[in-house]
Amino acid sequence: MERRKARTEDVTSVMGALRDPRRLRTEVLAGLVVALALIPEAISFSIIAGVDPRVGLFASFTMAVSIAFLGGRPAMISAATGAVALVIAPVMRDHGMDYLIATVILAGVIQVLFGVLGVARLMRFVPRSVMVGFVNALAILIFLAQLPYLTDVPWAVYVMAAVGIGIMVVLPRLTTVVPAPLVAIVVLTTVTVAFAIDVPDVGDQGELPDSLPTLFLPDVPLTLETLQIIGPFAVGMALVGLMESLMTAKLVDDVTDTHSDKTREAWGQGAANVITGFFGGMGGCAMIGQTMINVKASRARTRLSTFLAGLFLLILVVGFGDTIGRIPMAALVAVMVMVSVGTFDWHSVRPGTLRRMPKSETTVMLATVVVTVATGNLAYGVIAGVLVAAVMFVNRVAHFTQVVEVDRPDEDTRVYAVVGELFWASSNDLVYQFDYTGDPRNVVIDLSQSHIWDASTVATLDAITTKYAEKGKSVTITGLNEASSERHARLAGHLNSGG
């Protein structure tokens, strides 16, 4: 653990990148590529939320710059996202901009509280099969999000997208000095402008801002009624944003083989949303697709790339809006298609892997993918996957408990041993594993190879004792460890309606 932490500090060190020209170039170019990819996404999410494009673009700037300093996962990109836009869109539709910004600020405060309370530690309960499903669903969603830009468009769009993909496949085999996605964007934009090719471009997605973001104080009454309006949406935004961000952080940990501070990431996301709200932004969370561009396609590893992505975004849309507006959407589609292909865990769907993998693991992965793709919400998919995994785990563990006859010291005594963990699922069948009629007058139940975890087990033991008593037989429970003995002594005889 200490060795991995030391490696993390070395790989993600901003000072180390600043002192190394090669690493610095990687971070700078990665930030530029991500900034270019953020522009159409931010505009699209603004449309989903029902706000002006500048609201999404400014949110992406403030989120990226803020999280570069506050976040716990270096090189992860946070900006305006579709998941957050979907949650807060009804506020904008029904109550207007001021209530939307108030919702974003409150959601940020809630995320800070969640972070301080240690909610991020719940990530340890997310199984690997859910993570695999999350990654595969993410790849599918990224790909599906590109289809609108490939539907009912001139034939030149398909050619340009294919050329862009070709550049990103071939160029890394020749050189990695410049990120292939950046080369593809520059080449396709140059060709489009030079030959006046009429294809959809970034400018078609919405008007780019021509001024810097300014302080925005929402004009809403500080009343209980306001809280009742924005509260449910703020909680929803906080949960969705945190889940998506923490899952992305864990994914980046795996991709980069480094460690991140999930608790800091949780409250950092909240603080970034508060800052974004006060600058009139729509809020956001970790952007998985752009993060993969940053850490996988461009190989960035430090906070510098995240900060520069936000800074370049602002410079590009405010200072070079006309030029950026001429980037063909085909170029950005090509980048995102390659991100999709690179993100998908192809090993997980190989026939050999599926044959070796337990069916329960495959079911959990598929449940995560199906729910995510069906709802378009990664948070719902993760929740579904965790629930399916929990049910299947409980189902397996419930059948591990056995009752074994171990001794008959005399004609009037029979000794049983219970082997396995006893909790609400495993103890339900326990009551049917004894021979109440055929057993002698004295029954000993040895729990030295077991453990009582809950009240359901104590109630089951009470039921077993009662059934034997109805036959005129006595039960002695032995072998309890300290925790089980304390729980049994406290609850036994007090769990039925007459107790």
499 confidence band (pLDDT: 50, 70, 90): very low
Which is nearest to 412 in space by CA: 480, 476, 467, 478? Answer: 476
Q: What is the pLDDT of residues 394-435, one digit of tens each?
A: 888 777 788 999 889 988 999 999 998 898 888 878 888 899
- Averaged pLDDT, 84-106: 92
d(C-alpha 312, C-alpha 39), whole Å: 11
Top-confidence range, 125-139, 173-187, 340-354, 467-481 = 467-481
Q: What is the pLDDT of residues 437-471, one digit of tens each?
A: 999 999 999 999 999 999 999 999 999 999 999 99
Q: Does pTM top 0.85 for this prediction?
A: no
